[in-house]
Amino acid sequence: MTGILETKIKSIANLSPEALDLLMASTRPKPLEKGRILLREGEVCKTVYYVEKGYLRTYFTKEGNEINTRFAFENDFVTELKSLRSAAPSAYWIQAGEKTVVWEFTKEKLLELYRQSAEIESFGRNLLEQMLVDQEEHGNLFRIYSPAERYQHIVRHSPHLLQRISLSQLSSYLGMARETLSRLRKKP
């Protein structure tokens, strides 16, 4: 039986069975209790995570408040790329928002695999391309839509966020005050 991670990898790049095995051999599942911190502000990020179950949230703090920048759910990859790339202290935290299972890919191991296998580097490039496309489209939500319209967009396109993310956490992700989101939620 093929796991969902393998299916995901294959959907991103056509790897030979050998390359797929190589990549899969570099990782294993890791269960996390709710609230577990995977990266703290100031630490250097050394890992890319794949979420099998549950979700991870990425956030930073500004004047004592947490600003959520990403929620990575089942079948998503996530990391703190700036810190990972440059080995610089991270400005962000990564935390499990529920009881979660992730697969870890360490930077060290990934770079080794990239050198070993052009196919795996190609996989890495393709994954980045997908993430960049998503990120660009997400950024445009803020250019086009008002807070009220952004909420409507989430209702239509990402309703799972409303079910799994608390209102106060979602509000910072959507760039609006908690009270605003609370009021939007009960309108027609």
Partner DNA sequence: TTCATTTTGTGATTTTTGTCACAGGTTGAG
Partner DNA sequence: CTCAACCTGTGACAAAAATCACAAAATGAA
Contact residues: a copy of itself, CB under 8 A: 60, 62, 67, 69, 81-82, 85, 114, 118, 121-122, 124-125, 128-133, 135-140, 142-144, 172-175
Nearer to DNA, 84 or 165 (CB): 165
CB contact at 8 A, 49 and 77: yes
Least distance (Å) between residue 129 CB and DNA: 31
Residue-wise DSSP of 97-154: SSSEEEEEEEHHHHHHHHHH-HHHHHHHHHHHHHHHHHHHHHHHHHHH--HHHHHHHH
Nearer to a copy of itself, 34 or 82 (CB): 82
Contact of residue 136 among DNA, a copy of itself, none (CB under 5-8 Å per partner type): a copy of itself
Helices (H) and strands (E) in the chain, counts: 9, 8
Binding mask 145-164 toward DNA (x if CB under 7 A, else -) reads -xxxx---------------
Of 19, 71, 21, 83, whose CA–CA distance to 47 is shortest?
83
Q: Does 140 bind DNA (CB under 7 A)?
A: no
Binding mask 100-129 toward DNA (x if CB under 7 A, else -) reads ------------------------------
Q: State which H helix or E strand residue 17 sits in.
A: helix 17-25
Least distance (Å) between residue 1 CB and a copy of itself: 30
**Cα distances (Å, whole numbers) of residue 10 to 32, 69, 116:** 26, 27, 19
Interacting residue ranges for DNA, rule: CB under 7 A: 146-149, 166-169, 175-180, 182-186
